[in-house]
Amino acid sequence: TGLRRILRDVTVNSQVSIVKMAGIRVQALYDFNGEPGTAELSIAAGEVLTVTRQDVGEGWWEGINQAGQTGLFPAAYVE
């Protein structure tokens, strides 16, 4: 129903806000070269990132590197 969808959306949005506030930190396991001209963020193995969103698409997260650059990277490339 419409109410269930609204409650689900509120729950998802609340979880996303918590992730942003908590600033989950992850470490890159592998190098990833982002595609130029896209929202992809290149990362290097060992680099520490702060996850800002986990709901951007299947298998992709959004985050910020220590240089302040923001973009998307494969969730499977970090722990």
Q: What is the CATH number of the domain that holds 46?
A: 2.30.30.40
In this structure, how many other beta carbons lie within 10 angstroms of the beta carbon of residue 17?
A: 10
**pLDDT confidence of residue 8:** 56
Distance CA 6, CA 47 (A): 37
Host domain of residue 37: 2-77
Specify the residue for token string 């942003």.
20
On the question of pLDDT at 9 being above 70, the answer is: no
Question: Between these two residues, 47 and 12, which has the higher pLDDT value?
Answer: 47
Distance CA 62, CA 2 (A): 29
On the question of pLDDT at 7 being above 70, the answer is: no
pLDDT in tens, 16-61: 555 455 579 999 999 999 999 999 999 999 999 999 999 998 999 9
On the question of pLDDT at 63 being above 70, the answer is: yes
Handedness of CA 16, 20, 23, 26 (dihedral sign): positive
User: Residue 32's closest CA among 71, 3, 6?
Assistant: 71
Number of domains in the chain: 1
